[in-house]
Amino acid sequence: MDRSRILFGAFDRHNFGDLLFPHILAAMLHGRTMRHAGLAQRDLRHVGGHAVESLAHLGASLRQPADLIHAGGELLTCGAWEAAVMLQNPRDAEDLVTRFDAHSKPARYWAAQAIGRSDRVPYLADASMLSGGGRCFHHALGGVQLDAMPGEMRDEVLAKLGRSARLSVRDRVTREALRSAGIQAALTPDPAVMVRSLFDHLIQTHAQRGEAAGLIGAFPAGYLALQFSADFGDDATLDAIAAQCEVLRRATGLVPVLFRAGAAPWHDDLDVYQRLAQRLKAARVFQSLHLWDICALIARSRAYAGSSLHGRIVATAYGLPRVNMLPPWQGSAPSKQHAYAATWEMDGVPLVSAVDEFAAALEAALAIEGKRYRHWAERLASEYRTEFASFAAALGT
């Protein structure tokens, strides 16, 4: 029997990496027809995403076994409250945060009602979500704070992954946390390392039209693709970022182009970017939220800096200098950016930087020969193809 296949992930909200995953997996599976599912029904085709079905409704409607493919992301540690709030519009999300204590029973009840499931970690797929039965495959997941999770949430994660038909993770921190709990996982680069190999023609088409088209001409010395999430938005942090941008502009001529890698609640905030732009002598705020426009912006830049892991990975795929910034509150807590870069970055490239040090980190990255970056991008794509071949064999493709 030819099983139906469902791609599942957080591509029901606007987040750069999550919008990319289903495109990449579909291409790697040779364009096979699949349904796309998240926690909520959403249509994100207007920003380059997919028409996404609610897994609660889709899973309940199935009468035959299916293959549920969890498409990746830092979702092992995404709790129900966080997941549900990020699916709201920004105004409603703000009201919910004001109304509920995130750790209270009313908050958990509201989240379960909003999502349609009572899972504590609902963005982690499981074959029990399929009424007709079937298998669940987990691909390129991240969960660097798994060991710090509350016991009941961690137990749910381990139980779901213990039933996985095949499991891979994208960083060594997550793999070691699972190994210590008795769960073995393959190690794979993030799917986004394939974005140039699979979609460069489409990305270059977007680079030649619309908002991305004017950037090269506007900035003859090149530009810095710069992004950071809304939690960098206090005045002191913006002052530090502005100072670093000016240091970098004087040293390299690079002008920052500020873009949003996610518009869902708790992601990136246009108002924060506008406040930074007011502090700078030269800058541009990129308005488009279209997936392929964002890819084009990064692909045509001279370097990337920001908090988005997938901003870094797309820059890596295009052989560009890159560095991730961490917010001041991060402290010594593990970050997905550092865990991933420490696993897959080539020697000599800065991994992460504090906001008041990223200019020096990026200058060091810019000093590395471009040929090394391009060879590394090819190596990571080859690593991913090798691991994906094992995944596809387990899937039966």
What percentage of the chain exceeds 70 in pLDDT? Answer: 99
Helix (H) or strand (E) holding 58: helix 55-61
Q: What is the pLDDT of residues 151-198, one digit of tens each?
A: 999 999 999 999 999 999 999 999 999 999 999 999 999 999 999 999
Prediction pTM value: 0.95
- Considering the segment(s) 194-380 as one domain, its CATH architecture is 3-Layer(aba) Sandwich (3.40)
Residue 228 has pLDDT above 60, yes or no: yes
Handedness of CA 62, 67, 71, 74 (dihedral sign): positive
In this prediction, residues 269-291 reach a mean pLDDT of 96
Residue 1 has pLDDT above 60, yes or no: no
Backbone angles phi, psi at 144, to 5 degrees: -70, -20
Q: State the pLDDT at residue 244.
A: 97
Helix (H) or strand (E) holding 168: strand 166-169
Residue 132 has pLDDT above 70, yes or no: yes
Q: What are the CA-CA distances from residue 186 to residues 94, 176, 179, 272, 384 (Å)?
A: 39, 11, 11, 39, 11
In this prediction, residues 317-325 reach a mean pLDDT of 97
Q: State the pLDDT at residue 2.
A: 62
Contact 157, 87 (CB under 8 A): no
Name the residue with higher pLDDT: 85 or 75: 75
- In angstroms, the CA 266 to CA 13 distance is 11
Buried b (16+ CB within 10 A) or exposed e, 234-253: eeebbebbbebbbebbeebe
In this prediction, residues 318-346 reach a mean pLDDT of 92
Which of 104-113, 150-159, 277-286, 366-375 is predicted with the least confidence, judged by mean pLDDT? 104-113
- In angstroms, the CA 67 to CA 154 distance is 24
Name the residue with higher pLDDT: 209 or 102: 209
DSSP letters of 312-368?
A: HHHHHHTT--EEEEE-GGGTTS--HHHHHHHHHPPTTS--EEEGGGHHHHHHHHHTS
Which of 53-57, 89-93, 332-336 is predicted with the least confidence, judged by mean pLDDT? 89-93
Both tokens assigned to 56: 């609660």
Under the banding of pLDDT at 50, 70 and 90, the label for residue 386 is: very high
Question: Mean pLDDT over all residues of the chain?
Answer: 93
- Write down the domain spans for the chain: 4-188, 194-380
Q: State which of 53-62, 263-272, 370-379 shows the largest mean pLDDT.
A: 370-379
